[in-house]
Amino acid sequence: MSEIHAFIDRLPKVELHIHLVGSASVSTVLDLAARHPDNRLPTTAEGMRDFYEFRDFPHFAEVYQAVSDVVRTPEDVATLVTGTARDLAAQRVGYVELTVTPYTHVRAGMSARAVTEALDIAARQAAERHGVHVAYIFDIAGELGGEAARATLDHALGHPPERLVGFGLGGIEQGRPAHRDAFRDVFRAAVAAGLHSVPHAGEMSGPETIWESIHGLAAERIGHGIRCLDDPLLVEHLRETQIPLEVCPTSNVRTGQVAEPAAHPLPRLLEEGLYVTLNSDDPPMFGTSLTQEYRVAADVLGLDASALADLARNAVRASFLDPAGQRAILAEIDAVASGDAGSARSAAGRGTPAT
């Protein structure tokens, strides 16, 4: 193992941009498919890997929906959360903000209360079994429009999980203008209720989607945001405001938004002085992990250990974790970055993050 890979493995991390359904390992998806045999999924691990070869983003959205279709019970939801926590714990991730699209699970037949109960139980299990503290972001699939937006808001305000911290908007960006007013209305209500605004934007569309997220949705973080580089005024605004970008390099390549890993704009985003965090998005679907994203940043994009540690710190500070929890993880990162792994273990033992 190279020295930089060993450093990445030791580095404490926070994950801000990972989707519940997209976080399911291949073995977990096959188990869920066996529970609900009337599905569109392959029946072998090899078949699933082929299934996860995406032509473009709309094709990815189709595959994602096919996997989501086998999440039909509260037990399935809890299985996904605890499985994600297990996988993240192995990567030295102590805190995750997990994006859930509850409307899809309610459409599958679960009640909002049942989804919330499953999320609450699973969050407690994730902490107890794996030492990973889970917070949730409720996400709207943008292509489903106003009905999904209002239902997601009703769920978030009427039956929220204990650790619900944010309100998001994902899916195919090109369809958003038709539902702009509905999205603005629900985000206004969510923010007024104390939730943080964290929409995806500037992944598969241009800077206009990012501007709308900032001015129309009061975004505090931007999911992806890589198309900001097409607009110098937007770059200047993001530099001045330091709105964090949740950057997911392998995801952008696998869905066809970036031609190849070496062409990813992560280095330029950093050169422009923008606030960047590193994330994995839908890791098993894209054949990656958060650790692998750090390796790509080092091996392919040329970031050194100091820059990687800064990215890890950025994620902590951009999170909605309480100040004491942030300080604890930052102390661990500083200890590893200074080469004192023993101090890192001691810092970790002084307390666990709270949400």
pLDDT tens-digit series, residues 301-336:
999 999 999 999 999 999 999 999 999 999 999 999
Domain presence at residue 334? no
What integer pLDDT is reported at residue 344 of this predicted model?
A: 40
Domain assignment of residue 342, yes or no: no
Closest CA to 8 of 300, 314, 304: 304
Asked if residue 338 is part of any domain, the answer here is no
Is 272 part of any domain?
A: yes
Host H or E run for residue 79 = helix 74-89
- Is residue 336 included in any domain, yes or no? no
Q: Could you tell me the CATH number of the domain that includes residue 293?
A: 3.20.20.140
DSSP symbols for 120-132 = HHHHHHHHHHH--
pLDDT(348) > 50 = no
Nearest 5°: phi and psi at 351? 165, 160
Query: pLDDT per residue over 230-285, tens digit each?
Result: 999 999 999 999 999 999 999 999 999 999 999 999 999 999 999 999 999 999 99
In a domain, 353, yes or no: no
Q: Which of 15, 97, 173, 203 is catalytic?
A: 203
pLDDT band at 46 (very low <50, low <70, confident <90, very high): very high
pLDDT of residue 341: 45
How many domains is the chain partitioned into structurally? 1
For residues 286-313, b (16+ Cβ closer than 10 Å) or e, as one string? bebbbbbbbbbbbebbebebebbbbbbb
Task: Check residue 340 and give its pLDDT.
Answer: 54
d(CA 133, CA 264): 30
Q: Is residue 50 part of a domain?
A: yes
Kindly provide the b/e burial profile for residues 39-67, where b requires at least 16 CB atoms within 10 angstroms of the residue's own CB. bebbeeeeebeebbebeebeebbebbebb
Residue 335 resides in a domain: no
- Is 143 one of the catalytic residues? no
Q: Which domain covers residue 312, as residue numbers?
A: 3-323
* Single pTM value for the model: 0.92
